[in-house]
Amino acid sequence: MGNLLSTLGMSSSALGVNQTAISVVSNNIANMNTEGYSKQKVNLGALFLDLPIGNNVLSQAKTNAGVEVINIQRYTTTFIGSYYRDQLSEQSYLNKEQQAITNIANMFDELKGQGLDTAIEDFYAALDNLNQYPNDKTARINFLDAAQTLTNSMNKTANNLNDLKELSVGDGESFESLKNSEIYTSIQAINQGLEDLANINSMLSRSQTGTLENNSLLDKRDQILNELSKYANFKTDIKDNGTVTLSLDGTKLVGGSNVLAKFDVQTATQYDDYCTINGIVNTNESNAVIMLEKSNGTIIPNINKRMDTGIVGAILETSSTQEGVNVNTVLEELDTLAQTIANVFNELQTREGAFYIDNVGGTIQLSNANLEDFTIFTANDGTNNITASNITINSLLLEGDGYNKIATAYFPDYDPLDPDSVDLNAVGNADNIIAMINTKTDNTSAAFDAIGNISLSDYYSGILGRITSATTAKTNEATAQNAVVSSLDTKTKEQTGVDLNEELTDLVKFQTAYSASSRVFTTCNTLLETLVNLGL
Amino acid sequence: MIGRVSSSAINSTLVGHIQNNYLDFSKLTEQLSTGKKINSILDDTLQSVNIINSNRQLGKIDIWSANIGSLTNEIKQSSETIELVMEKGQRAKDLATSAANGTSTKDNLISTLTELDNIIKSVVDMANTSYNGNYIYGGTNTKTQPYSIQYGIDADGNPTDEIIGIKYNGTAIDGDWKRQLEISDGVFETANVTGMEAFGECDVEPVYQADGVTPVLDADGNPTYTENSNSGITGDLIDFRNALSDTIKKLEEQENLPENATQAEKDAIGAEIKACYDSISGLLDGFDDSISQMTTVNSKFGTVTNKLEMSTEALSTSKLNLEEYISGIQDLDITEAISQWYTSQTAYQASMQTATSIMSMSLLNYM
């Protein structure tokens, strides 16, 4: 076959191959900024005709048949693997946790504005003023205003915390609220990822390795796996043909082209009903419960504990557990603070021997009639259980001349049966207010037991200290992990990314080969023409 | 593939560097524009807690300083009042001294009595001084006038304008009379003394028959009185007044003696007048005691004022220390920050410049 026609064939195949190579280069350049795209490279091979090779050079040369594309190779790296995804999962988890705690810390930012600490201090300052002017209307109203600012400030902080919690896991009751929550969106994203993965698996099993199509499917597969690993750390098992089996704690989620199990998320109320119907002991503490629904119909209830990685793990941890510094623990501590404030001051306000000011026909006098009704702090929902979100000022003190009902005076030797044990004209007696001021330093009374017999400010400082140090710790952890992932990212990009210079070199290389081949083609053509003309 | 570099890797690294530099730059800019190193608790969580605690302490110090100011003023007012009462007491004592030497005429004594009544009225007015709308000598009965003048009655029980007593209406000396203000954590300083301690009282009531309206009369047909209490300068003033009016009465009797009065009768009235003068001179020691009691009370005020002055000094020292401490944590060293700011600005600009020149550089430029 060592004739002109075969040379013409060789050069024409070279033209085709170089054209393919240029199209791969062009694809690389087109995707140089595509996230997750891996550089592809055309591997060329010399083509030989399948003929017995003789021992003379001429017949050997005759077996040369030009060039062929062996495959289109996709650049991969050892880092795109389970290790990278583990780190990615950890990074998402830490960043989510850091975000959650930073949100809380911002709420308590005393340096930026009027926080609870200022409110507590202002409350004591108002008490001090009231001690100085116990029978002065302005001092009394100032005190009630300061107390109201304190309760409003607690309400606001508690509501903000509850909003944060609702935003992550819903309110536990309404499905509408769950639907707007982060956990719901995350679970939807995971389910979408599982379906996409099953589709990719199905296409991968049908496509031929080493082709452009196969390479682009593998890129997509890796992207889906990376995306999924941000939500939770799933276990992946990659088969030879590139398909992947995904599982969580031994439960297969995707196998081949099928989604074997899907996630479902329910409100706490829905889950409670489910438990009642199915006779399961409900140990759930979260507002949102994640279930796993297998394609064969079986349901694995409440897998919250198993979802302890990635974004989902962080959401559940920061909004559902009673450990560490999170929305729940901070809310609980605020509730304790609110209860303590109410107990301490209500107890002093209504104790025996305490007297408020009463206006009897124009002259002011002391009185203790119905004193037990005039507690300072109450719950705004009528319950007896005071929390940070419902603490408020007794409306009896706010309406009309209710400000007079603040028990400023105190007679330690008061005996209800002995009218001489109290001087009803002593409207300048502020001993009860002094006792209230003393709660700044004297925290031995039983009302302070709940916060460990320390002052309100110290207790609040403790909360603040825990929040700030947890924020520092989480920020440091997240920063360290971000550095790990970012260095892995850079390495991956270095090894699989498109480099423009490389592609342009290839372009020039293949262009030259193409031009040269076409010159060979023209030359052959001329030769053939010469031959043809020879016959004429 | 080892050692391979790709455009996308370089691009993302460059963007990362630019962002880091920008972050530094904007942080320093914020610090410079606020003058503070720590603007949010997230800037430095641990030091922030220290700042918050120190600010809280500063707030307390402000309140205590205000309280000390208020205490000092009230005490100053109380002390001035007591000094005025002492002057009046001294004047009354001088009047008593000159009345006791027995050389004054009846008219002299009557004008002395008029002056004494005025002294009594102004002493009561002074004891009823108020500060910030509250009576200072009434203990905790800050809205009731601490002292009221009691007037006598005539034989029919109708009130006359004769002063018979000075009643104290404030908190009793063994009651809860203290008004206190906080001057440091859990330490309270008393702002007042009771009028009882400073001026005493002389509570006198007419004696009535069982119906409570008709006065019980003595042998001469005059109403009778009971004295419930007698102490301090107010007691002395009333005693002096009683002795003085007794003396005037006796001098009147002497004048009204009939022409034909026997020597025995003249001697008897003379002896009675002498007894009256004696009882006036017997009051002089009482005045001395009452004035020295007021001096004691006043020196108490002095002691408290000194103590408050010391507290003020201590408070302003700790305020200064705290402010210095906070400033050390929070305030920016401007010189250092400005030079850092310029450095970070240069770094930011340099990173942008290198990024653009590297990113725009490729074989493309030479094709």
The average pLDDT across A340-350 equals 94
With CB atoms and an 8 Å threshold, state whether B181 touches A471.
Answer: no
State whether residue B266 sits within 8 Å of chain A by CB. no
With CB atoms and an 8 Å threshold, state whether B42 touches A108.
Answer: no
State whether residue A411 sits within 8 Å of chain B by CB. yes
Band the pLDDT of B185: cuts 50, 70, 90: confident
- Whole-number pLDDT of residue A524: 87
Tokens (6 digits) for B104: 């004054």
The average pLDDT across B337-353 equals 93
Distance of alpha carbon B108 from alpha carbon B273, whole angstroms: 15
**Which pLDDT tens digit goes with each residue over B201-234?**
999 999 988 888 888 888 888 889 999 999 999 9
- Whole-number pLDDT of residue A53: 59
Band the pLDDT of B19: cuts 50, 70, 90: very high
- From B168's Cα to the closest Cα of chain A, the distance in A is 13
Asked whether residue B299 carries a pLDDT value surpassing 80, the answer given is: yes
The average pLDDT across A483-508 equals 88
**Which pLDDT tens digit goes with each residue over A119-163?**
999 999 999 999 999 988 899 999 999 999 999 999 999 999 999
The average pLDDT across A230-243 equals 90
With CB atoms and an 8 Å threshold, state whether A426 touches B367.
Answer: no
- Whole-number pLDDT of residue A384: 85
State whether residue B37 sits within 8 Å of chain A by CB. no
Helix or strand holding residue A293 (H, E): strand A288-294
Q: Which of A91, A170, A220, A160 is nearest to A485 (CA)?
A: A91
**By CA distance, what is B38's nearest residue in A?**
A111
What φ, ψ does residue B134 adopt, rounded to 5°?
A: -115, 140
State whether residue A109 sits within 8 Å of chain B by CB. yes
In the A/B pair of chains, how many CB contacts fall below 8 A?
Answer: 170
Comparing A49-53, A79-83, A504-508, the range with the smallest average pLDDT is A49-53
Candidates B2, B4, B5, B8: best to mutate against A (most CBs of A within 10 A) is B8
Using only C-alpha atoms, what is the Rg of chain A? 39
- From A339's Cα to the closest Cα of chain B, the distance in A is 22
State whether residue A493 sits within 8 Å of chain B by CB. yes
Band the pLDDT of A79: cuts 50, 70, 90: low
- From B3's Cα to the closest Cα of chain A, the distance in A is 8
Band the pLDDT of B255: cuts 50, 70, 90: confident
Size (chain B), residues: 367
What φ, ψ does residue A57 adopt, rounded to 5°?
A: -60, -35
Average pLDDT, rounded, for chain A: 89
Tokens (6 digits) for A19: 């054209």
Average pLDDT, rounded, for chain B: 90
Query: Which among B46, B70, B169 has CB closest to A468?
Result: B46
Distance of alpha carbon B248 from alpha carbon A10, whole angstroms: 157
The average pLDDT across A45-61 equals 68
**By CA distance, what is B45's nearest residue in A?**
A468
The separation between the first and the last C-alpha atoms of chain B, rounded to the nearest angstrom, is 26
- Whole-number pLDDT of residue B1: 42
Band the pLDDT of B39: cuts 50, 70, 90: confident
- Whole-number pLDDT of residue B104: 82
**By CA distance, what is A429's nearest residue in B?**
B140
Candidates A408, A425, A507: best to mutate against B (most CBs of B within 10 A) is A425
With CB atoms and an 8 Å threshold, state whether A131 touches B182.
Answer: yes
Paired with A514 in beta bridges are none
Query: Which among A434, A499, A508 has CB closest to B7?
Result: A499
- Whole-number pLDDT of residue A30: 92
- Whole-number pLDDT of residue B234: 94
Distance of alpha carbon B319 from alpha carbon A368, whole angstroms: 41
Query: Which among A440, A464, A486 has CB closest to B185?
Result: A440
The average pLDDT across A419-448 equals 90
- Whole-number pLDDT of residue B325: 93
The average pLDDT across A421-428 equals 88
Helix or strand holding residue A115 (H, E): none
Asked whether residue A457 carries a pLDDT value surpassing 60, the answer given is: yes
**Which pLDDT tens digit goes with each residue over A275-334?**
999 998 888 888 999 999 999 989 999 999 889 899 999 999 888 777 888 899 999 999
With CB atoms and an 8 Å threshold, state whether A431 touches B176.
Answer: yes
CA distances from A476 to A103, A188, A473, B268 (A): 16, 30, 5, 108
**By CA distance, what is B190's nearest residue in A?**
A132
State whether residue A146 sits within 8 Å of chain B by CB. no
The average pLDDT across B319-346 equals 92
Angle between helices A212-231 and A310-320 (to 10 degrees): 10
Q: Residue written as tokens 């009639």?
A: A369
Asked whether residue A56 carries a pLDDT value surpassing 70, the answer given is: no
With CB atoms and an 8 Å threshold, state whether B140 touches A111.
Answer: no
Asked whether residue A80 carries a pLDDT value surpassing 80, the answer given is: no
- From B289's Cα to the closest Cα of chain A, the distance in A is 30
Restricting to A residues 257-316, those with a Cβ less than 8 Å away from any Cβ of B are none
Comparing A458-467, B55-64, B147-156, B212-221, the range with the smallest average pLDDT is B212-221
**By CA distance, what is B363's nearest residue in A?**
A501
Distance of alpha carbon A307 from alpha carbon B311, whole angstroms: 61
What φ, ψ does residue A253 adopt, rounded to 5°?
A: -100, -45
- Per CB-CB distance under 8 Å, the chain A contacts of B49 are 461, 464-465, 468
Residue of B340 and A54 predicted with greater confidence? B340
- Whole-number pLDDT of residue B230: 92
Restricting to B residues 152-191, those with a Cβ less than 8 Å away from any Cβ of A are 169, 171-172, 175-176, 179-182, 185-186, 188
The average pLDDT across B178-191 equals 89
Asked whether residue A103 carries a pLDDT value surpassing 60, the answer given is: yes
Asked whether residue B3 carries a pLDDT value surpassing 90, the answer given is: no
Which residue ranges form the domains of chain B, and what is each CATH number?
A: 57-315 (1.20.1330.10)
The average pLDDT across B100-112 equals 87
State whether residue B360 sits within 8 Å of chain A by CB. no
Restricting to B residues 80-119, those with a Cβ less than 8 Å away from any Cβ of A are none
The answer to whether A204 touches A243, Cβ cutoff 8 Å, is yes
The average pLDDT across A356-378 equals 89
Give the full edge-to-edge strand order of the sheet including A354-360.
A363-367, A354-360, A409-410
3-class state of residue B103 by DSSP: coil
- Whole-number pLDDT of residue A1: 39
Asked whether residue B48 carries a pLDDT value surpassing 60, the answer given is: yes
- DSSP structure class, residue A307: -
The average pLDDT across B52-56 equals 89
For a pLDDT cut of 70, what percent of chain A falls above it?
A: 96
ipTM of the predicted structure? 0.82
Tell me the one-letter amino acid at A39.
Answer: K
Query: Which among A112, A132, A469 has CB closest to B40?
Result: A112
The average pLDDT across B43-72 equals 90
Asked whether residue B77 carries a pLDDT value surpassing 70, the answer given is: yes
Distance of alpha carbon A224 from alpha carbon A201, whole angstroms: 11
